[in-house]
Structure 1
Amino acid sequence: MPEMKIAFVAGRSPKAQGALEILSHIYPHVSPEEADVLVALGGDGFMLRALHRYLKLKKPVYGMNRGSVGFLMNEFRPDNLLERIRNAASINLHPLRLEAFCVNGERHHALAFNEVSLFRETGQAAHVRVSIDSVVRLEEMVCDGVLVATTAGSTAYNMSAYGPILPLGTGVLALTAISAYRPRRWRGAILPHQASVEIEVLNPQKRPVGATADSTEIRNVLRVKVHEDRSLWSTLLYDPEHNLEERILREQFAH
């Protein structure tokens, strides 16, 4: 079996940098461009940044938690790293693609592995119209915002907004309201992954709205289009005893 070439990428926190120093002394390593596998050291936020930064390399990513929650990460242990990577299970994550049309005439594109969200920018509630596959489903929603989440992102901000937790591999997206005032009891919807979501901002001058795709922020949007881009993917590796399916299932029964 040819020797596995690994690259270490780490967040800036002392814990992540300490882990980088330890592993760099134990294992031979190369640049991300030369590697077979990327080992990401940090928390979930750093993992998302790594997925974006190295997406075009199409290298699998094995994360080890040096952050707080570490939902997307494996346990940090310096020993037997190569064996753990060889025995790891994998899952492909497809990002959401955001196209945003702004008040000033600009158009922006961004990707999101967790969610695309829209938020009010002032103290006044946002008024938005929601269409799915060119069919208007909500003529007007009054809310703090609305988000579209992937299965992997359904346990992040989507869960905090009382959106549904989506098992991996189910081929669906979550459309979730953020503090909806009207329709009063509308909590959201579960959409097929191939659905195209369009959200129009009503009265954007008086009630401005911004859009966020993971860490990319866009101000003063008129409307946005969101769909899952199946032509792009990033492969996550995880220990069989620490798999994402089990963690998502546990979240649904958490107290």
Structure 2
Amino acid sequence: MREFENPDRWDRVAEHYETTAHPFTARFAEAALARVPLTGSSRVLDVAAGTGALALAAARTGAQVLAVDFSPGMVARIAGARLPNVDARVMDGQALALPDGGFDAVFSIFGVIMFPDWRKGLAEMARVTRPGGSGVVATWQDQGAATFLLLGEIRRKLFPERESRAMPEGVRALGDPAGFTRALVAAGYAAPRIDRVTFDYALDVAMLDDPDTVFGLSPDWVDLSAADRAAVIAEARRMAGGRPVLPIPSTALIAVAER
């Protein structure tokens, strides 16, 4: 089992993820929400919800939201918000224990793309979307985003002879609009509209004093020696050029499709 397919791994990093990744992914979640009109009567599902960047934002519209994730630690973070219109459950997005056509809008923000069987994940999203409803999926381009993108850039510069570990298959397959469109249609959606959306990840350079908090989620970090890691940190500081924050432009594809 790859590390990102292990719920225990996500349980361990849930608190750190909520602090560092959640505020960044929330910007893309807001961009996704802006593409689908929701009301107080809307039924919304957030698949592979993480710490709830999409679910909590959707709840502010008044919609009734169900957030599901295979990591109990992530689900506990969402439940901890104690919002009356948000239900959070542990559930496998590749086999949703939910009836057909039960939701007006089904979202997955950088979630389904990480599934071992991402095609099944997309098909399950389509299955539980009501006819006339919307499916919304966000994916990174094939080099990833934020500190994954930074680490990949630095590795290619410092260690050009080494191959980086490939991004999950779903990221690679959905990282271009044509492939993304084909996959959504094959899953049961129609007429996908895909936009590129870019935001800067603001890396607090002071966090490089504890680099595991910056790069520890990436498999390309764990296989580096102590000397390699020191070289990576030094290069990141050089790129910052004395600035307290290093911006890392990160681009996502956001697709909205009809059921």
TM-score (norm 2): 0.25
| Larger-Rg structure | 1
Q: Which protein is richer in strand relative to its size?
A: 1
